Every structure is written in structure tokens, then in C-alpha cells.
Structure 1
Amino acid sequence: MKAWQLPLIAAATASTSVYAVQPQGIQLGSGVTMLPGVEISIDSDSNIYLAESDETSSRITKIRPSLALVGDLGATRLNAYYQLENGSYSEDSDNNYLDQLFVLGVDTEMTSRHALGFDLRINAGHDPKGAGSTQSSDVNSVDVDEFKELVLGADYTFGADAAFANVTGYVESFGKTYSTNKSLTSTLEHDKIKYGALAALRVSDTTRALVEVRNVAISYSDADAKDKDGSELKLLAGARWALAGKTTGEVKVGIADRSFDESENDGDSRFSWEAGVTWSPRTYSVGNLVTSQESNETAGGGSHVATSTISLGWNHQFSTKFGLGVSLSNIGEEYVNSSDNRDDSSLTYGIDGVFSPNKMLDVKLGLSKTTRDSNVDVFDYDRQIITLGVELAI
């Protein structure tokens, strides 16, 4: 799928960490490169259960091997990525986990005016105790939430890059199932079908006006969650630009309307936006701003979560061996149609540094702090994580 279709929060996550590793990869021939890597880190987490009081701290050792394949096959580009992450807790081994992620993307330019893209994403992940379905639960009586997500997508673009207008249509399916805590997670399993179209109109050599319409149909598997079945329609307009290699960005604003098939839940219409801006005054110094308003599925009551996010990050390379990054983010979560009118605000700030003795190795040290303030006191928490890690990439 095209880069503009990626969730903005993912871009925010990627932009707020310093990475100096410059892998060269292993050339396999025919335009295909293999890039293996591994990262080992130790986290000191002050509040692993996100508790309001009686906090439990733990050391978490993470081992994360990965393998990427990049193929430039002329008119077709191939990207494949696999990652495995093993996490071991010093406090309560029941928190240990093994996550896996596989991503495959294929983009092909059939002619100068016609392009196709396909993508597949399989995520076998988890939510730790104290998050997901186990919020406010007795952590001694539950397991971590283990889930699987399957995403299949395709897009078609008509129009050359230099044309006055081009249009991209896209469709994507998403499914999420759980394998643990079934008494809590059965009502969280759901499917989504997203489809839409984006028109990009040339304003100048560096700027395009954007108009997008997008619809998501949402259905839940469990009969007790059928009141959350429905759809969300978004109408957005904005612009995309790239100015003199210093500033790039995309901003879209509009209206989002979430409706429900059953009458138990009230519909929700509100102002919505998606924006990402990168400013690079120097090649070695990059700032990022990412902000969005979106609707997410809820694991903590209500029909859905209206989420507003803003993230700021700055990365600076002092030399080929030393880099520093700082980040600040705020997430507002309104649990719409919840009986307790839950409303959370989470503030996170952090700093991380990297020492790179060579192009294949990074040594990382980071600190992050999070404070969540909720009108439902049991969901308040403070958390500090100190991370020391090494990353090796070939």
C-alpha cells in the first residue's frame, strides 16, 4: 500500500527514535537484497501492570531478531519483513511473551498511468496484564491477552506522477481474534472492511491538493457485542507538499461519522484530521509533528474510543557515532457511550541516545515517562521505563 495509507501513529513511533545503523544487506542477485538483524534490550519498568497504586516493577529482557527482503525488479518492487520478539520478566514469568510479525508488500507500475499495490500483514501479538481486556482486573487471575491480526489490502492508482490529477482506490480487510482470557476477550473479536478513494490534484511542482472519501464497515463476532456493529464514514480534504528538500508533509481535515446498526448506541459525528510534517533544516537534524483524530475499537467500555493524538519528535546526529532523540506525545481517549463517561489523557515524554562504533552496530540508552489521567480514578497511573540495548544489522 502507498505510504500515505499507513497509520500516522506508526509514523510517529518511527520518527521519535534515533537510529544510526546503516545496514548494507546481503545481495542475493536479480535485484534482491536480504537484511538480517537482531536487537537485544533490557527494560527497567516501574509499573508493569499500569496500576494506580501498589505498583509492581520488573526487569524485562527482550530479544528481537528480524529479517527483511527488498527486491527491485524493474517495474515491480517487493518488500518482505519478519520479526520475532521474546520478552522475559524478572517479576512473574506469567507475563513472558513471544510475538511475531510478518509484512509483505508488492507494488507494480504497469504503465506510466497505471499502478497496483498489494499488502499482507500478520501480527501475532499480545497486550500485557493491566492493558487490553484486563484493565482493572486482578492481575493474578488473568493471563496476558494473546491475539492475532490479519490484514489484506490492495490499491490501484490511475494517473502519472506528473499529471494534473491522479486517483487511488483502495480496499483493506482486517480481522482480530484472541486465544486467551476468552471470558473477557470474546466480545473484542471483530472484523473491518475499509474501502475508499483519494484524488490528488496538482497545484504546483511541489504541492498537491487532496480529497478523500473512506468508509469502514465494522462487525463483531460475539452476540453480546453486536451493539457495536456499524460503520464509519470519513470525508477529508487537504494538501501534500515537499519544499526544497527541507519540509515535507500531508494534512487532511474533515468530518467523521460513526453509526451503529443497533439503537442501543448513539451515533457519533465529529471533526477529524490526519497530519504529518517533517522539517529537516540539516541532513543530520530532523523534526517531526504527527497528529490525528480517529475512532478505535474499545477494550475498556463504551461503543468505541474517540482518540486524539499529537506527537512531536526531534532527532539530531552529532557525528557519525553519536545521535540523540527527544519526543513528546499526548493521547486523549474518550470512551463514547460508556456508562462511566470515561475520558483519559496520557502524556509521554522521552529521550534516547545512540552510540554507533560502526555502521552495523548501535548501542542505545533511553528513558521515557508516562502519566495517564482519567476521570475514572482506577485508570490513573505513572510509569517510567529505562532501556539499554544493542542492535546489530548486516
Structure 2
Amino acid sequence: MKLNKSTIALSLLTSCACYAAHANEERGYITESGIRITPLFESSLEHNDNIGRFSSSQKPESSGVLVLEPGIAFESDRGGNEHLVAYQISSGTYFDSSDDNFLDHKFITNNFIRLNSKHGVSLNYNLLLLHEERGTGLSAGDSLSTVVTDPVEYLINDINSTYVYGSDGAKGRLELSLGYLDRSYKNYRDISNPNLAQLSTKYKDFDEVSGGSAFYYRVMPATQALFEIELVKRNYDLADPATTRSQDSLDQFYMIGSKWDMSGKTTGKLRLGLQNKDYEDSQKDQFTGFSWDVDLTWNPLEHSQVTLLGGQRVRDPEQGRNYVKDKFLTSGWKHHWKSNFYSDIELLLRNSDYSSSNRDDDFYSNRLALGYTLNDITDLVLGWKYERVNSTINENSYKQNVWYLSVNLVL
């Protein structure tokens, strides 16, 4: 297990919670002690034609947006011990809707210590102060996005560690992991409107403890079979305001699959298995069913890359009181037509089926971008992003277009 030295993690994944901003190995400054320091600066000028993601029954709000994202990363690799510390601040200024302005902070540190040829330990920590754009997450739907005045803000602390037994080229390798995450909301904690009081964000604060084990067995020189078990125990600070019963749950994943790396042309990971979600409240719907995920990168040419990411699992909803089943598929293609000119295309399809209601959302988005490498440190990108949601709840359906021009620097 090694840190990926070709990427500096600085922009968020996920429904998830991971980062990625690309940095060339030749860039940055190396100190006498061998630490690589890489300053980063990303900026974009955008026009958004539906800031609040309103449905067709509402008049959309549009605005220009200036986003500035300076950051810095420190990297070290000595004798198999790898360390990364990175920080980025993201500032968004809306020219015609200052209430939507945001200021995010992202701090991460990833560390891997090689104890000897067979033993290693990773220790990673993320501190994230982020926001949800109006019309997403807790404020999705016209009834909320039309009354929310500021973006919903939240804080995440995420620490995890993995013990590795076995070298990268060994016949077998065992990984044991343990993690802790807490998420707390910073505004809209006590909504005074009695009709909306149950939507106060304090009811969504939680912490979770996770643990897992994975065994990799090399079946061919470039292919490993994997067997994995993961448990995630989530505890909410407060009970469900509507039922006064617990919102806590336990997720269990039992997965098999494979991982491969074929001469740098194709890398990937595929897992298939079972997810079991048990709520402490016995009156809630429990879930036991099929779960899968795939992460594939294909380089048909030296200057071309195709990616595929997909999966299916159930999760706790931002809105509602029972689980949501998500199925999604993302594909991307980045191609350099010349050494300094490239195109970047991405498509995302996602279906979210809410078990406690008749709500079913079909989400589609695409991103089309043309990039020009001005010099060794500067990229200019012209692009268009489009989102569309078709929901069985009419007020949750919307369309949004964002046109943007960005300047990205890696010094």
C-alpha cells in the first residue's frame, strides 16, 4: 500500500469524502531536506442560470460567480515512508446573489510508514469545513431552496488507519482498517418556524466508527482476487424529531472481487457482494441486498485516458427517515489532441430511490471542457456543465447550466 505520489489530494470526491488535484512530479520546490513544496492556485469565472436549482414552477435566479482556490502541499518520501500534508481554501463570490457566497477549508494529511519489507501502517486525517449549494442535500426542493438564505455549512473530522501485512508484490496481502468520522452542521441548527422545525440541522449531526479487513491474493502477475468485510456503526446525536426514536444504524458489507494493473494500460478494482443495513429503530425498513462498485482507468494511448466509476449501495438520506438506494455510473474521457491542447468529457447517471416515500430521483449531469496548456505551470480551461433531475416529487425536478472559464496554476 502506497500513497499515490502523482496526485495531490485537494478537491472533494463523494458523497463520499476524498481529494484529488493533479500535480506533475517535476513541479514544486524541493528543500535541502528533501521535502517537495507545491503551491497551487485554481480560479474560475462562471455563469450559473439556476443558482437555487428551482423547478419549472419557480422563476430561476442566475448569477456570475468568481471562485478562487489557493492551496499548498508538502510531500516527503524517504526509505518507503511517505507523507503528504495539504491545505486549500475555496472562496466563492456571487455577483447577483451575495447570500450564496461561501468559504470552504480543506486540510488533509496522508502518511504511510513502512516498518519493514512485510509490515506497514497508514494514518490519514481530513478536516473539512464545507457547504451545500442551495437546492442540494438538506435544502433540496423548492419549498426549502426558496426560503434558505445561506448555504448549509458543515464540519467533518475524519481519521483512519490501515495496517498492511505483505509487500506490494507478495502472493497474499492482508489489510486491517479502523476509522472514525464525525459530521456537525454549523447553521440552521434551530429553525424557529414551527412548520420547518423538524428540519433543523442539529438532527443530522452524527459520528461513526468503521472497521474492516481485506485479503488480496495474487492469481496472475497483474491480477489479485480480493475478499473484504467492512462494518460501519453510525450514531446520531439526537433522536428523530418526528418519532422521537433512534436514527442510529449499522452497515455491514461482505464483498469479493478483483484488482488489476496491466502494464500501465488498464488499472481497476471491481467488488461484488452483500450489504446489510440494520436500524436500531425496529419500525424502520431494514435492508439486505446486492451491492457493487467498480473503479476503472484505461489508457488506450499515451495521451488519452478513459475512466469508469460506478456502484450501488444504500445510505441514510439528507431528507426523509429511511434509507435511500443509490445506483450510479460515471464515465470520463480526457484526450490530448496536441501536447498543449486537450478535451475533457464527463457523464454521470444516478438513480436515488427513497424507501420511505414514493420519491424517486433520476440525476443526469455532463461536463464538456477544452483545455490549453499555456506553459509549464498554467492551464486555461473553457467548459460547460449541465445538471438535470427528474423526480416523482415535482418540486425536486430542475435543470441547471453553468458556463465557466478557469485558470489553474501548479507552481
| Distance in 1 (alpha carbons) for counterparts of 2:339 and 2:23 | 8
How far off its partner does 1:24 sit? 1.1
| Distance in 1 (alpha carbons) for counterparts of 2:118 and 2:105 | 37
State how 1:4-19 maps to structure 2 within 5 Å. none
Verify the 8 A CA contact 2:74 2:85 in the aligned structure 1: yes
User: Could you tell me which of 39, 50, 70 is aligned with 2:75?
Assistant: 70
- The residue matched to 2:51 in structure 1 has which SS? coil
How far off its partner does 1:125 sit? 0.4
Q: What's the CA shift string for 1:128-179, capped at 9, x where partnerless?
A: 2222222231534543111000000000011122222110000111100011
State how 1:1-394 maps to structure 2 within 5 Å. 24-53=27-56, 54-136=59-141, 137=144, 139-183=146-190, 184-224=200-240, 226-336=245-355, 338=356, 340-394=357-411
More helix by share: 1
| Distance in 1 (alpha carbons) for counterparts of 2:325 and 2:2 | 25
Q: What's the CA shift string for 1:212-247, capped at 9, x where partnerless?
A: 000100111112265321100000000011123211
| Distance in 1 (alpha carbons) for counterparts of 2:165 and 2:24 | 37
The structure showing larger relative contact order (alpha-carbon pairs under 8 Å, at least 6 residues apart) is: 1
| Distance in 1 (alpha carbons) for counterparts of 2:201 and 2:273 | 33
Verify the 8 A CA contact 1:227 1:265 in the aligned structure 2: no
Q: What's the CA shift string for 1:276-322, capped at 9, x where partnerless?
A: 11111111001011111123331121323221110010000112211
- The residue matched to 2:246 in structure 1 has which SS? helix
Amino acid corresponding to residue 31 of structure 1 in structure 2:
G
- The residue matched to 1:224 in structure 2 has which SS? coil
Change (3 A) 1:119 1:49: same
| Distance in 1 (alpha carbons) for counterparts of 2:14 and 2:305 | 17
- The residue matched to 1:29 in structure 2 has which SS? coil
How far off its partner does 1:186 sit? 1.1
| Distance in 2 (alpha carbons) for counterparts of 1:35 and 1:3 | 16
| Distance in 2 (alpha carbons) for counterparts of 1:68 and 1:350 | 27
Verify the 8 A CA contact 1:23 1:359 in the aligned structure 2: no
2:195 corresponds to which residue? none
| Distance in 2 (alpha carbons) for counterparts of 1:47 and 1:344 | 18
Q: Unaligned regions of 5+ residues in structure 2, if any?
A: 191-199
Amino acid corresponding to residue 108 of structure 2 in structure 1:
V
Superposed CA RMSD in Å reads 2.3
Verify the 8 A CA contact 2:227 2:257 in the aligned structure 1: yes
How far off its partner does 1:264 sit? 2.2
Please say which of residues 205-214 and 53-62 is displaced more in the overlay: 53-62
How far off its partner does 1:325 sit? 0.9
Amino acid corresponding to residue 109 of structure 2 in structure 1:
L
Change (3 A) 1:23 1:324: farther
TM-score, structure 2 normalization = 0.89
Amino acid corresponding to residue 216 of structure 1 in structure 2:
V
Amino acid corresponding to residue 220 of structure 1 in structure 2:
Y
- The residue matched to 1:372 in structure 2 has which SS? strand
Amino acid corresponding to residue 219 of structure 2 in structure 1:
V
Amino acid corresponding to residue 172 of structure 2 in structure 1:
A
| Distance in 2 (alpha carbons) for counterparts of 1:265 and 1:335 | 13
How far off its partner does 1:23 sit? 5.8
| Distance in 1 (alpha carbons) for counterparts of 2:186 and 2:263 | 50
Count of aligned positions: 388
| Distance in 2 (alpha carbons) for counterparts of 1:133 and 1:114 | 43
Verify the 8 A CA contact 1:76 1:109 in the aligned structure 2: yes
Q: Unaligned regions of 5+ residues in structure 1, if any?
A: none
Change (3 A) 1:289 1:141: closer
| Distance in 2 (alpha carbons) for counterparts of 1:135 and 1:8 | 20
- The residue matched to 1:133 in structure 2 has which SS? helix
- The residue matched to 2:220 in structure 1 has which SS? coil
How far off its partner does 1:385 sit? 0.8
Fraction of identical pairs, as percent: 25
| Distance in 2 (alpha carbons) for counterparts of 1:23 and 1:378 | 50
